[in-house]
């Protein structure tokens, strides 16, 4: 079945025609090291890259354990590993900008087409039952629709896990919106599992839920959630001045900025490996695709490798567009 799907793809992948000729030369690939970061979307991306580069281009790919700061520092100072598939730019903003400006590291692609997304969300069944709720501010006019778990007489805004930076932003926006004065309590979910569990529990009961979440994630692949806009645009200066600062005394409302998420490579790889650079320059995916893969991974308790193969089996229209005809055929044969 997979190859039948793939066969139909051959006629609908014009992007492959734009690949540079250098990406066709298998002899230039050699051995490449990729950081398998310790969060799901980046881990799956590392395995997709490994499979495509090995099966499609004949590379030898070594995966090494990674995390944002140690991987960035190792690539910046020692030139290893060669590739970090998913770096959230805001997490290493100043040193990354310096490394890019000085040419030690290279931005190979924007892996998430729509970037890393943060915001406040409600279940779709609530949004459809109450079309008047078109923004966070409108939701805060209805505490009765989003009862707090410990005090149903008041509304609840579910916050980010303790110790995470999003806990700070959620608290500051809660205060900036005067959500308490509008009848809401800020709910401490305690952990990522607690936050996820609160959404699952609400869905089981078709109950109201309002709170912070982000994409790409498995939860947004499993549960149909609607992101509510804030009624003001992004104010990046305010976001840095106050929204991200613990206990900021005078927070103001701002939308969350979308985070740029890049694939970063070392200078050596960029200068010596046109095969890999040609591939990475085409490889990008959207949050809804990643959400779906991560949801499948969670539901099946699958590994990053399993999820990568699942992606290749079920989304040939996505990865097929990254590759030339001959490379795409070799990857399809491996599935």
Residue 329 sits in a domain whose CATH number is: 3.40.190.10
Q: Which residues pair with 34 in a beta bridge?
A: 63, 83
Say what the pTM is: 0.81
Residue 60: its pLDDT value, please?
A: 96
**Are residues 207 and 223 in contact, defined by beta-carbon separation less than 8 angstroms?**
no
Residue 10's contacts (CB-CB under 8 Å, 6 or more residues apart) are 320, 325, 328
Whether residues 136 and 164 fall in one domain: yes
Residue 330: its pLDDT value, please?
A: 96
Q: Which residues pair with 262 in a beta bridge?
A: 87, 110
Residue 48: its pLDDT value, please?
A: 98
CA distance 287 to 218: 10
Whether residues 38 and 150 fall in one domain: no
CA distance 127 to 310: 31
In a domain, 315, yes or no: yes
CA distance 328 to 121: 38
In a domain, 128, yes or no: yes
Residue 311's contacts (CB-CB under 8 Å, 6 or more residues apart) are 44, 48, 289, 293, 318, 319
CA distance 325 to 11: 10
Residue 22: its pLDDT value, please?
A: 40
Whether residues 108 and 150 fall in one domain: no
> CA-CA-CA-CA torsion for 143, 215, 191, 229, nearest 10 degrees?
-20
User: CA 172 from chain center: how many Å?
Assistant: 23
Whether residues 106 and 70 fall in one domain: yes
Domains in the chain, number: 2
CA distance 14 to 28: 25
Whether residues 219 and 322 fall in one domain: no
pLDDT in tens, the chain (335 residues): 333 333 333 333 333 333 333 444 445 789 999 999 988 999 999 999 999 999 999 999 999 999 888 999 999 999 999 999 999 887 788 899 999 999 999 999 999 999 999 999 999 999 999 999 999 999 999 999 999 999 999 999 999 888 777 889 999 999 999 999 999 999 999 888 899 999 999 999 999 999 999 999 999 999 999 999 999 999 999 998 999 898 899 999 999 999 899 999 999 999 999 999 999 999 999 999 999 999 999 999 999 999 999 999 999 999 999 999 999 999 999 99
CA distance 126 to 128: 5
Whether residues 145 and 220 fall in one domain: yes
Cα–Cα distances (Å) from 32 to 210, 262, 309, in that order, read: 44, 18, 20
Residue 16's contacts (CB-CB under 8 Å, 6 or more residues apart) are 320, 321, 322, 323, 324, 325, 328
CA distance 34 to 46: 7
Angle separating helix axes 325-334 and 2-9, nearest 10 degrees:
170
Local structure of 151: helix, strand or coil: coil
Whether residues 96 and 150 fall in one domain: no
For the chain, what percentages of helix, strand and coil (3-state, to nearest 5) are there? Answer: 50, 20, 30
CA distance 330 to 243: 49
Whether residues 138 and 216 fall in one domain: yes
Residue 113's contacts (CB-CB under 8 Å, 6 or more residues apart) are 284, 285, 286, 287
Residue 15: its pLDDT value, please?
A: 36
Residue 97's contacts (CB-CB under 8 Å, 6 or more residues apart) are none
Whether residues 124 and 232 fall in one domain: yes
User: CA 7 from chain center: how many Å?
Assistant: 29
**Spatial CA neighbour of 159 closest among 235, 210, 85, 223:** 210
Secondary structure letter of residue 258 according to DSSP: P
At which of 182, 212, 241 does a domain end?
Answer: 241
Whether residues 291 and 217 fall in one domain: no
Quote the domain boundaries for residue 270: 31-115+260-334
Whether residues 65 and 145 fall in one domain: no
Whether residues 172 and 235 fall in one domain: yes
At which of 189, 211, 241 does a domain end?
Answer: 241
Name the token pair of 21. 């000729």
**Are residues 209 and 198 in contact, defined by beta-carbon separation less than 8 angstroms?**
yes
């Amino acid at each position: 079945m997979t190859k039948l799907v793939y066969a139909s793809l051959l006629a609908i992948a014009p992007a492959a025609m734009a690949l540079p000729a250098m990406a066709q030369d298998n002899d230039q690939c050699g051995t490449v090291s990729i950081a398998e970061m310790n969060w799901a979307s980046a881990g799956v991306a590392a395995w997709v890259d490994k499979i495509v580069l090995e099966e499609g281009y004949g590379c030898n790919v070594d995966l090494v354990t990674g995390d944002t700061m140690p991987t960035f520092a190792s690539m910046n100072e020692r030139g290893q590993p060669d590739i970090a598939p998913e770096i959230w730019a805001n997490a290493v903003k100043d040193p990354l900008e310096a490394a890019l400006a000085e040419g030690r590291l290279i931005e190979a692609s924007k892996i998430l087409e729509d970037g890393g997304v943060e915001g406040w969300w409600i279940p779709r069944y609530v949004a459809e039952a109450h079309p008047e709720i078109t923004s966070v501010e409108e939701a805060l006019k209805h505490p009765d629709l989003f009862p707090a778990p410990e005090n149903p007489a008041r509304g609840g805004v579910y916050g980010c896990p303790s110790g995470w930076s999003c806990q700070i932003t959620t608290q500051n926006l809660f205060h900036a919106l005067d959500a308490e004065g509008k009848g809401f309590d800020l709910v401490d979910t305690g952990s990522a599992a607690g936050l996820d569990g609160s959404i699952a529990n609400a869905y089981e009961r078709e109950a109201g839920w309002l709170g912070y979440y982000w994409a790409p994630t498995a939860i947004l692949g499993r549960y149909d959630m609607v992101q509510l806009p804030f009624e003001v645009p992004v104010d990046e200066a305010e976001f840095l001045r106050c929204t991200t600062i613990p206990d900021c005394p005078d927070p103001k409302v701002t939308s969350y900025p979308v985070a740029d998420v890049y694939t970063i490579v070392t200078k050596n790889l960029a200068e010596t490996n046109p095969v890999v650079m040609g591939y990475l320059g085409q490889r990008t995916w959207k949050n809804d695709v990643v959400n779906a893969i991560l949801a499948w991974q969670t539901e099946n308790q699958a590994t990053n490798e399993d999820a990568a193969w699942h992606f290749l089996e079920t989304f040939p229209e996505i990865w097929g567009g990254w590759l030339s005809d001959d490379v795409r055929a070799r990857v399809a044969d491996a599935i």
